[in-house]
A and B are shown apart, each in its own frame.
Chain A
Amino acid sequence: MRVDVYLPLVLALLLAAVTPHVGRRISPALAARALTTAAVLTSAASTWALVLLGATLIDEDPSVASEAREGGRHLPEPVPDAIAIASLVVLGVIVYRVCRALRSHQASRRALRGLCDGHPPDSELIVAASPIPRAFAIPGSPGRILVTASMLSALGPAERRVLLAHERAHLTHRHSVLSTAVGLAAAANPLLVPVRSTVTFLLERWADEDAAGVVGDRRVTAHALARAALVSQRTRSRCTLHFSEHAVARRIAALQALPPPRLWPIAVAVLGLGAVPALGAVDATGDLLHLLAGPLLG
C-alpha cells in the first residue's frame, strides 16, 4: 500500500517530464491521443490515491476504534495522520479546481452557442462581420466554423481553403473532447499542466497536418498560418501573449519539415506511464480494504 499509493504522484511528474519529447517526435494525432489518455488515467489515479490516504483516518473513528479495543485487537496505522489530513485538504482544492474548470467550460459553450444565432443550422461556415481577424471551430452537432470577414479578406483562395480545412479537422476529430479531457486532468492534478499545454499545441499541429493533406501543399499551409498570424498580430495586445508564444512559429517550422512518423512504441510507452499509476491505485485500494476489513472482521 505504501508504495502503490504514492506511485501516481511520482508518475505524474515523469509523464510531465517526457511529454515535450513525445510531442516533438511522433505524429501529432497519435501523440495527442496517447498523452491525453495517459493524463486522464494519471490524474484519476492520483485523485483516488488522495482519497485512500484520507480514508486511513477511518481508523480513528471512535466506533471502529472501540470495537477493535473490545475485541483486544490492535489497529494498523499505515499512514501518519498528518499525511492523511493533508491529503483531504489537497482533495478539497482539487474539487474546487475541477468545478471551476467545468464552470468556465460551460460558460464558453454558452457564449459560443450565442454566436451561432441567426445563422441557418445547416451551414458550416459562420462569418462574423468583424474587423478583428479571428478563426475558430465551434464544437457541437453539427460543429460550425466561425471566421471573421477581416480574416477571410487577408488570405488568398488557397490559404482560405487551408483555414477551412484546419478548422474542419478540429471538428471531425472531436478535438474539443480531447482538450476538455486533458483540461480536467490538469485541473485535478496540477503536475499535469505541462501535458495540457503540449496537447493544446499538438491539436493545432494535427489540424495543420490534416489541412496540408487536404490542400496537398505543405508550403501553402505554412503560408496561410504565417499570413493569418501576421494579420491577427495587428489587433492583438501584447499582454495576451502566454505559453503559446512560440506556437505559430513552431507550427510553421514543422510544416516545412517532413510529416512526423507514427511511432507506435513511443505511444504505447506513454500509455504505459498512465496505466501503471492506475494499476497502483487499484492495488492500493485492495490493500486498504484488507487493512480495514482485517481488524473489523477479526
Chain B
Amino acid sequence: MSGEDRRRTVRRSAGELESEVLATLWATNQALTPAEIQREIGGGLAYNTVHTILKRLYDKGLVLRDVDGRRGAYGPVKNAAELTAEAMRQALDRGPDPIATLQQFVTGLSPDEEQALRDFLAGGAP
C-alpha cells in the first residue's frame, strides 16, 4: 500500500467509515470477524479502527455480534432494512415513481451500450 493510500484512509471521517463497514457486511452476506472486514475493505484501515467502528454500529443497533454461531463475527441487523425495502416497493408500485425524480446512481442502457459495458469490464480488470 502506498503512502497516498494511507493518507486517504486517514482522511475518511468516522461516519464515512461506519457506512463503509456496514456496506461491507451487507455486501458479503455472511458473518465477518473484524480481521476479515479489515482484509475486505483494504486501504490500510487499522484493526483497532475497524473494532471501534463495529462497536459504534453495534451500539446503534445496526449490527449483531456472534452471528451464525461464530464467536466475534458480525452481521447486519435486517429488520429496518426489510421495512425500508417494503416501503420502497410500495412507493414504486404506487407510481409515478418518486425515486425516478431523484439523482440515481445509474440509469437505463440500450442493448448496444450493455454489450459495450460488458466488454469494458471484461477488457481490463484493474
Contact = CB atoms under 8 A, between A and B. Distances in A.
A200 B100 CA distance: 12
Contacts of A164: 16, 19-20, 23
Contact of A149 (B19, B26, B105): B26
Interface string B32-63: 00000000111100000000000000001110
Interface in A97-117: 104-105, 107-108, 110-112, 114-117
Given A119-B80, A128-B81, A244-B107, A145 B19 contact: yes
A149 B106 contact: no
Given A104-B96, A123-B62, A249-B113, A153 B26 contact: yes
Contacts of B120: 222-223, 226, 252
Interface stretch (A13-21, A232-240, A265-273, A274-282): A232-240
Given A127-B26, A175-B103, A252-B120, A115 B84 contact: yes
A136 B109 contact: no
Interface string B76-87: 101111111101
B105 A135 contact: yes
Nearest to B121: A226
A230 B103 contact: no
11 contacts: A108-B98, A108-B101, A111-B99, A114-B87, A118-B80, A119-B80, A128-B88, A130-B85, A226-B120, A248-B113, A249-B116
Interface of A: 104-105, 107-108, 110-112, 114-120, 122-130, 132, 134-138, 145-149, 151-153, 155, 157-158, 160-161, 163-164, 166-168, 170, 175-176, 179, 200, 203-204, 207, 214, 216-217, 219-220, 222-223, 225-230, 232-233, 236, 240-242, 244-249, 252
